[in-house]
């Protein structure tokens, strides 16, 4: 009997060892890496949990859009959330910008993540329950206001990423700087703003990020897909103003004056020869577009002057400077040949968005992991512009696109960004959250083993 009792006791002990609850590894940060939960899996689990919050934030921001340098309500929403997560928060950067700093408990690099917060002067035409009814003043005019470019989704996505990564603070091999930026679409006339002002006010200092990541939603890609590209991705965007001065006269006697309308017409055609005959089209594409021409008040009066406005898009800084000089020479010489004069003014607004080659190479496997190999692909160059390029001038940066057009939809017929009918499939936001979170932790892990070239 004693022997039997002894055996039963031993069996009881063994059963207890096999049947007891396993330890919660995530709470024991002293355990070896081999025994810890998979960080990638934990990110995806946390992302799934926060998805409903991201959608709710997006709808709230969408219904309450604010123009550049006026994102007061949005900034408060962001700042309150970051503070609730225990982050170090700075507000009022570049007027309404918010910066949150999450310091991981392990040493490592500083990763910056950027989202833009401003809306556009567009009256919404999308039939959704949370459509914007907001009106505001833009350059002296009353306008409708809408998140027609998707910045509401960018802000909500980054708020979700901040929640995920703050929950992983004990496991983070470095720190994360969350940059919520105003006025990406450009500040109001007469004001500074956007990425340039944030940098000027020290957003890339104390601590200085080793790399920066950003994303943009687009209707030109199906939900669940990602597009990326190494090197030039988005064009520079410059504003061109041309003033042509002639000499007013009667329309029946043009020889008694100098016709600036004819001169302006010749300049418009002459500018196109820069693209077709003067620059090396095999190096990079470029665009010169005249979007508005104003001159004259009556059918039989040749006016004194004509004013023209347009845009210049390039993918190479050297070509950019060269084209600017050619525009000036072409306009001035054509005008001079007719006895008129031309004044050329070019405002540099956005630089070329250039993805760092080494950072892109490191990021691609992460994007494939997040979206699936068949859903993460090299995309084309786009002639749109982004002030994310300002950060890339200072530190290595990587910018990519995620699709928000419902699967099965012909993306060529989907309303484009900046349209009053721009529609976001909110099921695509989860991929944005997961992508940025994975890019952050993967970069941190790789920084020590594979530094950027």
Q: Which residues are catalytic?
A: 350, 426
Phi, psi at residue 229, to the nearest 5°?
-165, 140
CB 134 within 8 A of CB 124: no
DSSP 356-367: -HHHHHHHHHHH
β-strands 173-181, 106-116 pairing: parallel
CB 446 within 8 A of CB 63: no
Write the CB contacts of 234 (distance below 8 Å, at least 6 apart in sequence). 350, 352, 353, 381, 382, 383, 384, 385, 386, 389, 399
Write the CB contacts of 450 (distance below 8 Å, at least 6 apart in sequence). 362
Closest residue by Cα to residue 167 from 99, 84, 51: 84
Distance from C-alpha of 36 to C-alpha of 434, rounded to nearest angstrom: 20
DSSP 228-294: E-SEEEE-EEEEEEEEEE-B-EETT-GGGSB-HHHHHHHHHHHHHHIIIIIS-TTT--EEEEEEEEE
CB 448 within 8 A of CB 428: no
**How large is the C-alpha radius of gyration of the chain?**
28
């Amino acid at each position: 009997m004693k022997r039997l009792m002894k055996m039963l006791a031993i069996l009881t002990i063994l059963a207890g060892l096999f049947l007891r609850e396993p330890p919660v590894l995530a709470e024991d940060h002293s355990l070896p890496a081999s025994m810890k939960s998979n960080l990638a899996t934990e990110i995806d689990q946390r992302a799934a949990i926060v998805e409903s919050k991201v959608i709710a934030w997006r709808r709230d921001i969408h219904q309450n859009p604010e123009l550049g340098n006026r994102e007061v309500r949005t900034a408060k929403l962001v700042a309150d959330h970051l503070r609730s997560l225990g982050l170090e928060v700075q507000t009022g950067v570049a007027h309404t910008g918010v910066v949150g700093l999450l310091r991981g408990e392990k040493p490592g690099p500083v990763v910056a993540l950027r989202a833009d917060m401003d809306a556009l002067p567009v009256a919404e035409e999308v039939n959704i329950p949370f459509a914007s009814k907001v009106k505001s003043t833009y350059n002296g005019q009353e306008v409708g206001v809408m998140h027609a470019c998707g910045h509401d989704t960018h802000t909500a996505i980054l708020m979700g990423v901040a929640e995920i990564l703050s929950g992983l603070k004990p496991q983070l091999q470095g720190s994360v700087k969350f940059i919520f930026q105003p006025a990406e679409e450009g500040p109001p006339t007469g004001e500074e703003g956007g990425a340039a002002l944030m940098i000027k006010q020290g957003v890339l200092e104390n601590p200085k990020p080793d790399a920066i990541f950003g994303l943009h939603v687009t209707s030109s890609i199906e939900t669940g897909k990602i597009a990326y590209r190494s090197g030039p991705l988005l064009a520079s965007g410059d504003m061109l103003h041309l003033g042509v001065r002639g000499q007013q006269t009667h329309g029946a006697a043009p020889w008694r004056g100098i016709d600036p309308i004819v001169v302006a017409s010749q300049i418009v055609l002459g500018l196109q020869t820069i693209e077709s005959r003067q620059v090396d089209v095999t190096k990079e594409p470029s665009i010169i577009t005249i979007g508005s021409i104003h001159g004259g008040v009556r059918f039989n009066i040749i006016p004194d002057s004509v004013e023209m406005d347009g845009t210049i898009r390039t993918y190479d800084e050297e070509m950019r400077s060269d084209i600017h000089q050619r525009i000036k020479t072409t306009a001035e010489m054509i005008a001079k040949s007719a006895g008129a004069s031309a004044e050329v003014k070019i405002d540099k607004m956005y630089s070329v968005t250039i993805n760092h080659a080494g950072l892109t190479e490191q990021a691609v496997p992460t994007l494939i992991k997040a979206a699936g190999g068949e859903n993460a692909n090299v995309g084309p160059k786009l002639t749109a512009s982004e002030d994310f390029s300002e950060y890339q001038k200072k530190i290595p940066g990587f910018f990519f696109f995620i699709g928000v057009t419902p699967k099965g939809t012909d993306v060529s017929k989907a309303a484009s960004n900046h349209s009053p009918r721009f529609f976001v499939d909110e099921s695509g936001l989860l991929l944005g959250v997961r992508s940025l979170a994975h890019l952050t932790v993967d970069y941190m892990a790789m920084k020590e083993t594979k530094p950027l070239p």
